[in-house]
Amino acid sequence: MNRIELRLGLPTGSWIGDASRACPDATFRVSETIAAEPGDVSDVTVSGIARERAVEALREHDRVDAVDVVERRGSATALRVTGSAPPFVVAARRVGLPIAATVEVTDGGATLPIAGRRELLTAFGTELATEGVTVGVGGIADEADRALTDAQRDLVLAAVDAGYYDTPRECTLTELAAEREIAKSTCSETLHRAEGRVMRRFVEGAFPFDGDGTGRSDAGPPGIREATASRDDRETHRVEVVRPGP
């Protein structure tokens, strides 16, 4: 299963996109949208200095039937918005992809963490394009094929932080083991296994590097970038995929 953070450009005509562009100093968080009659119901929290103006912008939108204030707490206002479903919800429903995370929207742009099979995410990207949404991929990770175990990752990060991989070394294996409260032999074996897995993945091309050595690549799941990154009648958004590096 792949986990991806999508960066969405919401189209004109979408109430969440239009209201957020009208109030760029406000942050909208859509936590859930429930199908209902006569219109879908979305739980939305608005925060920021422009939140009151944002509430009015929602009420004035022609695709919003009603806006009910559920709660005011601190700098945030919780709302129940009745109207058409946001475009990312419409696209997800068409392909059967659940949206479990809260979607954050600011100034017409949404951040959507989502998980699913590669073919499902590809279909989702196609449906987003149909809804007029432009898509960028902020980050991608394949949980079924992670390079390191949690224990290996934690130890490698601790070793890097302690200067174990610096030249000259600022931390010895004995000191690292003592800091982590594990046996020196365990520390050595765990690091060796982690280093081996990272190097094998690197040699196999799982961690492609570009010319500047940053470890970044512009490749993404087939379909997400190809179907949505460039369109004839809309602005082209650069798609950047950040893969974990060694």
pLDDT tens for residues 74-96?
Answer: 889 999 999 999 999 999 999 99
Q: What is the DSSP letter of 111?
A: E
Pair (183, 73) in one structural domain: no
The more confidently predicted of residues 150 and 214 is: 150
Q: What is the DSSP letter of 241?
A: B
User: What mean pLDDT value characterizes the chain?
Assistant: 81
Render pLDDT for 133-185 as a digit per residue (tens, 0 to 9). 999 877 655 544 456 787 888 898 899 889 999 888 999 999 999 999 999 99
Q: Give domain status of residue 244, yes or no.
A: no
- Please answer whether residues 67 and 29 qualify as being in contact, where contact means their C-beta atoms are separated by less than 8 angstroms: no
Pair (61, 164) in one structural domain: no
Candidate from 25-29, 122-126, 209-213 with smallest mean pLDDT: 209-213
Q: Give domain status of residue 237, yes or no.
A: no
- Please answer whether residues 111 and 208 qualify as being in contact, where contact means their C-beta atoms are separated by less than 8 angstroms: no
pTM of the predicted model, to two decimals?
0.58
Pair (156, 89) in one structural domain: no
Pair (19, 130) in one structural domain: yes
Asked whether the predicted pLDDT for residue 244 surpasses 70, the reply is no
pLDDT of residue 202: 60
Residue 213, by phi and psi: left (phi above 0), alpha (psi -120 to 50) or beta?
A: left
CB atoms within 10 A of CB 18: 21
Pair (36, 90) in one structural domain: yes
Render pLDDT for 220-242 as a digit per residue (tens, 0 to 9). 454 454 444 433 333 333 334 34
Domain count, the chain: 2
Q: What is the mean pLDDT of residues 103-127?
A: 91
Q: Give domain status of residue 98, yes or no.
A: yes
Asked whether the predicted pLDDT for residue 28 surpasses 90, the reply is yes
Write down the H helix ranges in 82-165. Answer: 87-95, 118-130, 150-162
Pair (175, 118) in one structural domain: no
pLDDT of residue 117: 83
Pair (129, 169) in one structural domain: no
Angle at 68 between CA 64 and CA 71, to 5 degrees: 140
Residues 6+ apart with CB under 8 A from 107: 20, 21, 24
How far is the C-alpha of 16 from the C-alpha of 31, rounded, in Å? 13
List the domain range (segments joined by +) for residue 94. 2-144+217-228
Pair (153, 103) in one structural domain: no
- Phi, psi of 196, deg, nearest 5: -65, -45
Pair (94, 152) in one structural domain: no
Q: Give domain status of residue 209, yes or no.
A: no
Which of 49-58, 143-152, 160-169, 200-209 has the highest mean predicted lDDT (pLDDT)?
A: 49-58
Residue 178, by phi and psi: left (phi above 0), alpha (psi -120 to 50) or beta?
A: alpha
Pair (49, 120) in one structural domain: yes
Pair (63, 185) in one structural domain: no
Pair (156, 98) in one structural domain: no
pLDDT of residue 11: 96
CB atoms within 10 A of CB 166: 11
